[in-house]
Amino acid sequence: MESSIIRTEYSELMQKSYIDYAMSVIISRALPDVRDGLKPVQRRTLYDMYELGIRYDKPYRKSARIVGDTMGKYHPHGDSSIYEALVVMAQDFKKGLPLVDGHGNFGSIEGDGAAAMRYTEARLQKITQEAYLADLDKDVVDFIPNFDETEKEPLVLPVRVPNLLVNGAEGIAVGMATSIPPHNLGETIDAVIAYMKNPDITTEELMRYLPGPDFPTGGIIANQEELLSIYETGAGKIRIRGRVEVEKSRGGKERLVITEIPYTMIGANIGKFLNDVYSLVEGKKTGDIVDITNQSSKEGIRIVLELKKGANIEELENLLYKKTKLEDTFGVNMLAVADGKPETMGLLGIIRHHVKFQFEIAARKYRTLLAKEQEKKEIQEGLIAACDVIDLIIEILRGSRNIKDARACLTEGRTENIRFKSKESEKMASRLHFTERQAGAILEMRLYRLIGLEIEALMKEHEETLGKIARYEDILNNRASMAKVIIKELQAWKKEYAVPRKTVIDNLKEAVVVEKAIEEKDVVFLMDRFGYVRTVDPSVYERNKETADAENRYVFTCKNTDRICIFTNRGQMHLLKVQDLPYGKFRDKGTPADNVSNYDSREERFLYVCSMEALASARLLFATKFSMLKLVNGSEFIVAKKTTAATKLADGDELLLVTPLTGAETIVMRSKKDVFLRIACEPIPEKKKAAAGVRGMKLDPGDELQEVYFLSEGADMTAEVKGKEVALNRLHIGNRDTKGVKK
């Protein structure tokens, strides 16, 4: 076989391959189908459970059995994705209508994970079996080969309720994501019925039946006026709040009790909410909260905030809404696969696709049922006709040598191979023209069917069959009749499975928090050698001045409204607010700088700390390991960001010195090879903070600065070199960018 080389542009090949990959992820993994509202992994898992016979009225089966079978037959993408999908479908706090009945530990609303699949069991919910998987044997949906073409799987499940809206969806594909909130089953069915009765209905009119999302966690939707725009465009943000109740406590005190949480708070965000409340108290944003406890259980959410007497409830609620996850936004992007491609749809578009699918299912179902009834009618008519000439048929059977001759006589009137008692019988037999199906039924008929009551029952059954045929033909030929059938089914689902709405929809004012003006005053900032920071009153410092100066690396006076700047060897400047620091007694330990800023003591060390107010009028000298020097005006660092690049560093370089200049200071650069160079600071050029600087000392290959000493005018300073002391202030002042002196 001759080989052929196909030449192509690499960029074109990569583009095509990436597009193919992206579409595969979008269509086959991450996005739900608008018809059944299910992702492929969910659809395959439910179908596999149906095939395994794990019905709602049968015993539970191990989740590992379900996952393994699904992975082996339909979804070869790893067991974790299948089990996660199974778990989510069983969690009533995530799904408006759970599709799986889980037995065992399937996780909790507070973020606890489900037990391993070998420990949990599951089976289908009743509604899943009746409204999601029914009629698969009636050719209502197409089946396609599985990944290795050894099995068949449904292209889509014949879901009879608008599952995409009822259970919502979340998924991240390539370059796109879907986020559809869950809705109330009864309200969604009402909206579908309203559309079926009036296809020209508007989104605003639909919202009379389906006013908005209904989250399993309850809560309050606070921006009702924006829902119409969200449902028309399929995108927007829903503002949701938890439900807060006020309870009386002992001693005239009150407590706030959170009984419902925003849907977005499910999982780890409950713990984050508790930490945020602690932070509000520690940061002195509120003094009304005395204690907080999480008393949630299987019965529901109950987070209790104990308040001090006379607490301002309204102000505190606004603070919680503004500063914690008690009020959050749910980003809506109603993206789903429609007609084989991803499409963002509004409420009307989703319902339109659902109704179209329902008519397709109903048409295929009733065509299958009609064909079966017509087949039954044919057989019944043959049996009824056979009862009228039963003696002749018995004579044909007794005179036949084999079943082939008897069948030929019944269907074609061929009598040449059959012995008859009389010519009259033979003549009558030659007029028979039963169909193949009728002949088969006659040949298989048992003698008890000739009893009078059995014949009457056959006639009655035939009448029922004719009635069904007439009904099925009416449904198939009359869209209004088919719509009535679909509506009747929807109403039955609503009657049996609908539950009251949990989420309240309202227009609430946005929470406003008025920051209390801080009375500006002087405080003394203290930072010890371990990086613990705190502030004390100036009078406290004066009484303990000697101890404070001895125990702390940085001590200076600043305003309580100021910010502290921390310069690190990584070339970063971190900001922390003075008001975020502990303020109190002299012997208080303080808090690590890591806790109140982006400073990371594991990867950085601080070189210089000062207040921003002091920095405004300063000139800072920077010196790095690679001997780069520069002066920077302090006003460059008057920024609002918590972390700012203070200088530009080459790969592998780091800062050795950051210090302010006041007069005729000098610096001494010392390399690892003990080469010293002393230069004056004033001639060093002033640069922007984003600049790298200029070279301070010419270094030999492989050498770098070990330390940079800053010498104030008249100061004595020594350095030890090979056991000898070198007086740094006696070194000759040389020129920048020259070689130093070897010691």
Q: What angle do CA 653, 656, 662 make, to 5 degrees?
A: 135
Per-residue DSSP letters for 224-273? GGGHHHHHHHSEEEEEEE-EEEEEE-GGG-EEEEEEE--GGGSTHHHHHH
Query: Cα separations (Å) of 210 from 65, 193, 359?
Result: 39, 11, 22
Return the structure tokens found at 395.
Answer: 């004579």
| 8 Å CB contact between 182 and 167 | yes
* Beta strands 655-660; 591-592: pairing state: unpaired
Residue in 508, 564, 507 with CA at minimum distance from that of residue 534 = 564
d(CA 173, CA 439): 58
Sequence-distant (6+) residues with CB within 8 A of 552 are: 526, 527, 528, 529
* Beta strands 504-505; 220-221: pairing state: parallel
* Per-residue DSSP letter, 132: I
Residue 21 among the catalytic residues: no
Residue at token pair 């900001």: 575
| 8 Å CB contact between 565 and 615 | yes
Residue at token pair 């801080």: 518
Sequence-distant (6+) residues with CB within 8 A of 488 are: none
d(CA 324, CA 320): 5
Query: In a 3-state reduction of DSSP, which class is residue 217?
Result: coil
Residue in 602, 579, 573 with CA at minimum distance from that of residue 591 = 579
CA count, 13 A, side-chain hemisphere, 207:
18
d(CA 154, CA 392): 50
Residue at token pair 């008001």: 579
d(CA 694, CA 618): 20
| 8 Å CB contact between 113 and 107 | yes
301 sits in the region (left: phi over 0; alpha: psi -120 to 50; else beta) called beta
d(CA 735, CA 625): 19
| 8 Å CB contact between 584 and 657 | no
Q: Which of 21, 56, 119, 278 is catalytic?
A: 119
Per DSSP, the chain holds a count of helices (H) and strands (E) of 22, 35
Residue in 327, 448, 337, 318 with CA at minimum distance from that of residue 383 = 448
CA count, 13 A, side-chain hemisphere, 547:
7
d(CA 159, CA 143): 15
* Per-residue DSSP letter, 36: T
Per-residue DSSP letters for 510-560? PP---PPPP---EEEEEEETT-EEEEE-HHHHHHTHHHHHHHEEEEEEEET
Sequence-distant (6+) residues with CB within 8 A of 288 are: 307, 308, 311, 312, 315, 316
Residue in 317, 324, 326 with CA at minimum distance from that of residue 276 = 324
* Residues annotated catalytic, as ranges: 119
